């Protein structure tokens, strides 16, 4: 019994030391400590959270495959349900990390409640600009810009393939203003080539159910839809899975990746991928920027806008089946967006009023 009591005490002390270890390491190392808090899809979502994590490990000179400083200078905790958001934020705040990072608008309410309770703690959140606390750096992206490019690429590829009146699909995760920017940019990119293109949309109301996207993608591909863009976190991986199956069967259908370059996820044989292109939302740049700000003392609360001109968004040209002529035309459009020549509406309300998007879509602006 005495040995057991000593063992319990040792384990308790080790836990306390680990909780404080990050900050002590930073003091001697000169680099800040950070904890990333994610939703249930975690850093293996191959998309949004993965990009945030990639930026963190890159800052410390590590790789995703070999995160040598994990548990020393940085770590990650995944909340399996939203009712764990506030407890996870409070626990991380109590443990003395220099910075706490959360990803996605579903964290906004929890962070708005916790941040004022820890005024000396630095926080950062991605995809939100309304927390408004002096200790929270908020990053938002011009998703409509990158999404315009992938919509344009898909439409131009369809044109080169000689497809008459191609149809397109969009799958969203949880509807809201952020995902609407993805959809509106995509729609406007398509319609810049095919003004009357038929576009379907579907919202899974979940970030982690790929089976829902797979079933919807199968339905649309069977109806003759040429390309589907998913902005749905891990849910969107179902679209890629279905596109892989069908392209392996010789069907001319495509998926578009999101956030990270998902070309490799779409490979079905050799180097052939079912992911035509990906809308790159470089969340890793937010991770790098905020960590550098903490390190050099320039961190401050407020909103940071990451657009195409800031290398915040873009598109992937990794797939060799994406026509060189298409790439040339998309790059020209990219320059026109940066110069302001091409205007992109980021709300459904604006796009609908301008005739840039069809009626009947499920997108929400709020």
Q: Single out the residue in 86, 114, 141 at which a domain terminates.
A: 141
Q: 55 and 165: one domain?
A: no
- Number of domains within the chain: 2
pLDDT tens digits, one per residue of 12-58: 333 343 444 444 444 447 899 999 999 988 998 777 899 999 999 99
Please report the pLDDT score of residue 260 as a whole number.
87
Q: 93 and 53: one domain?
A: yes
Please report the pLDDT score of residue 21 as a whole number.
44
Q: Single out the residue in 100, 126, 141 at which a domain terminates.
A: 141
Q: Single out the residue in 111, 141, 171 at which a domain terminates.
A: 141
* Within a domain: 267: yes
Q: 62 and 189: one domain?
A: no
* Within a domain: 11: no
* Within a domain: 40: yes
Distance CA 158, CA 322 (A): 11
Q: 202 and 329: one domain?
A: yes
Please report the pLDDT score of residue 1 as a whole number.
43
Distance CA 56, CA 142 (A): 21
As a whole number of Å, the end-to-end CA separation of the chain is 59
The model's pTM: 0.82
Beta bridge partners of 306: 141
* Within a domain: 256: yes
Q: 60 and 162: one domain?
A: no
Q: 156 and 133: one domain?
A: no
Helical (H) or strand (E) element with 209: none
Q: 81 and 164: one domain?
A: no
Please report the pLDDT score of residue 46 as a whole number.
78
Of the candidates 67, 40, 325, 317, the one whose C-alpha atom is nearest the C-alpha of residue 206 is: 40
Q: 348 and 212: one domain?
A: yes
* Within a domain: 251: yes
Please report the pLDDT score of residue 15 as a whole number.
39
* Within a domain: 5: no
Q: Containing domain of residue 158, as a range? A: 143-281+314-354
Distance CA 79, CA 4 (A): 32
Q: 258 and 174: one domain?
A: yes
Q: 228 and 249: one domain?
A: yes
* Within a domain: 112: yes
Please report the pLDDT score of residue 263 as a whole number.
97
Q: Domain holding 227: CATH number?
A: 3.40.50.2300
Please report the pLDDT score of residue 22 as a whole number.
44
Q: What is the pLDDT along the chain (366 residues), one digit of tens a residue?
A: 434 343 333 333 333 434 444 444 444 478 999 999 999 889 987 778 999 999 999 999 999 999 999 999 999 999 999 999 999 999 999 999 999 999 988 999 999 999 999 999 999 999 999 999 999 999 999 999 999 999 999 999 999 999 999 999 999 999 999 999 999 999 999 999 999 999 999 999 999 899 999 999 999 999 999 999 999 988 999 999 999 999 999 999 999 999 889 999 999 999 999 999 999 999 999 999 999 999 999 999 999 999 998 889 999 999 999 999 999 999 999 999 999 999 999 999 999 999 999 999 999 998
CB distance 47 to 39 below 8 Å? no
Q: Which two tokens stand for residue 85?
A: 């958001």
* Within a domain: 297: no
Q: Which residues neighbour 220 within 8 Å (Cβ) at sequence distance 6 or greater?
A: 167, 169, 200, 228
Please report the pLDDT score of residue 29 as a whole number.
72
Judging by beta carbons within 10 Å of its beta carbon (0-12, 13-18, 19+), is residue 84 exposed, middle or buried?
middle
Judging by beta carbons within 10 Å of its beta carbon (0-12, 13-18, 19+), is residue 310 exposed, middle or buried?
middle
Q: 80 and 187: one domain?
A: no
Q: 250 and 213: one domain?
A: yes
């Amino acid at each position: 019994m005495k040995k057991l009591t000593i063992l319990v005490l040792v384990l308790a002390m080790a836990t306390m030391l680990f909780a404080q270890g990050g900050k002590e390491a930073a003091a001697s190392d000169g680099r800040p400590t950070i904890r990333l808090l994610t939703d249930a899809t975690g850093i293996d979502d191959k998309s949004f959270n993965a990009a945030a994590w990639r930026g963190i490990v890159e800052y410390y000179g590590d790789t995703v495959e070999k995160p040598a400083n994990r548990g020393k200078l940085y770590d990650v905790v995944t909340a399996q349900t939203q009712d764990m958001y506030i407890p996870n934020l409070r626990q991380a705040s109590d443990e003395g990390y220099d910075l706490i990072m959360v990803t996605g608008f579903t964290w906004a309410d929890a962070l708005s409640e916790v941040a004022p309770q820890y005024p000396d703690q630095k926080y950062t959140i991605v995809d939100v600009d309304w927390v408004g606390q002096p200790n929270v750096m908020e990053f938002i992206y011009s998703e409509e810009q990158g999404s315009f490019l992938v919509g344009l690429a898909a439409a131009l590829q369809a044109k080169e393939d000689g497809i008459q009146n191609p149809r397109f699909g969009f799958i969203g995760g949880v509807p809201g203003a952020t995902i609407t920017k993805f959809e509106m940019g995509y729609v406007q990119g398509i319609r810049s080539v095919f003004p009357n293109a038929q576009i379907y949309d579907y919202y899974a109301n979940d970030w982690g159910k790929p089976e829902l996207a797979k079933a919807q993608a199968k339905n649309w591909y069977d109806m003759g839809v040429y390309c589907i863009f998913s902005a749905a976190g891990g849910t969107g991986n179902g679209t890629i899975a279905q596109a892989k199956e069908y392209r392996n069967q010789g069907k001319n259908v495509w998926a578009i990746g999101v956030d990270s370059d998902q070309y490799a996820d779409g490979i079905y044989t050799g180097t052939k991928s079912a992911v035509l292109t990906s809308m790159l939302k470089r969340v890793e740049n937010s991770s790098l920027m905020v960590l550098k700000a903490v390190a050099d003392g320039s961190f401050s609360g407020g909103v940071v806008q990451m657009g195409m001109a800031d290398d915040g968004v873009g598109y992937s040209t990794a797939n060799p089946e994406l026509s060189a002529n298409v790439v040339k035309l998309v790059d020209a459009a990219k320059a026109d967006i940066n110069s302001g020549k091409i205007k992109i509406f980021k709300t459904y309300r604006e796009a609908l009023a301008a005739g840039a998007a069809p009626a009947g879509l499920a997108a929400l602006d709020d």
